[in-house]
Amino acid sequence: MAIADKRLQRREIITKAVCGKGRKFSTITHTVTPPHHPTSILGAWIINHQYEAVKSGDGIEVIGSYDINIWYSYNKNSQTDVAKETISYVELVPLSYVDPKHRSSTEEVSAEATQEPNCVEATISSNGSSVIIRVEREFAVEMVAETKVCVVVDPNGFDDDGKEVDFGLGDDGDFEDLDSDLLEDDL
């Protein structure tokens, strides 16, 4: 049975679906000034990461904060201390796909940290009074909303006599238009 069958009709179903997705990797630099001039960096790590997602224009904003802890030595490596600083941030993640027919009044957004903020480098600044921290982080965002889905309907019902249904997709690569990154998280 081909989709062009005259008996077939179409219907529109209103349903909740994923109507937008996005992903963003970023590298950020922070400067932390400890109470003593550091001699060397013994360790740097990030803890207490918290965030939430809000819709913003064509993207989703991830608003969050985390604590940076730097273990360092001072007075020519004779003493050590831990410097702590709370960092607040706003990361705009653009949506790479948006269903243009979704109902904007039903939008719900969410974000997931696919890579928690991680300190990849900590160096003493050139004037010797502060520590420069390079942080990597990555977020995947999703927008769920009501949208219309078109389905083909056979008014005579479904006769399960073993016939195969041909929706006319053929083997010419209709699925190549799908973005594998969008499907990756669903597996």
User: pLDDT for 99-141, tens place per residue?
Assistant: 988 999 999 999 999 999 999 999 999 999 999 999 999 999 9
CB 178 within 8 A of CB 42: no
The number of residues making up the chain comes to: 187
Average pLDDT value for the chain: 87
Q: Domain for residue 169, yes or no? A: no
Largest CA distance in the chain: 87
Amino acid sitting at position 176: E
CB atoms within 10 A of CB 15: 9
Residue 56 lies in a domain: yes
Residue 17 pLDDT more than 80? Answer: yes
Residue whose C-alpha is closest to residue 68's, from 24, 117, 35, 111: 117
Number of domains the chain is built from: 1
pTM: 0.74
| Helix boundaries (H) for 69-157 | none
Domain that holds residue 62: 22-153
Is there a domain that residue 93 lies in? yes
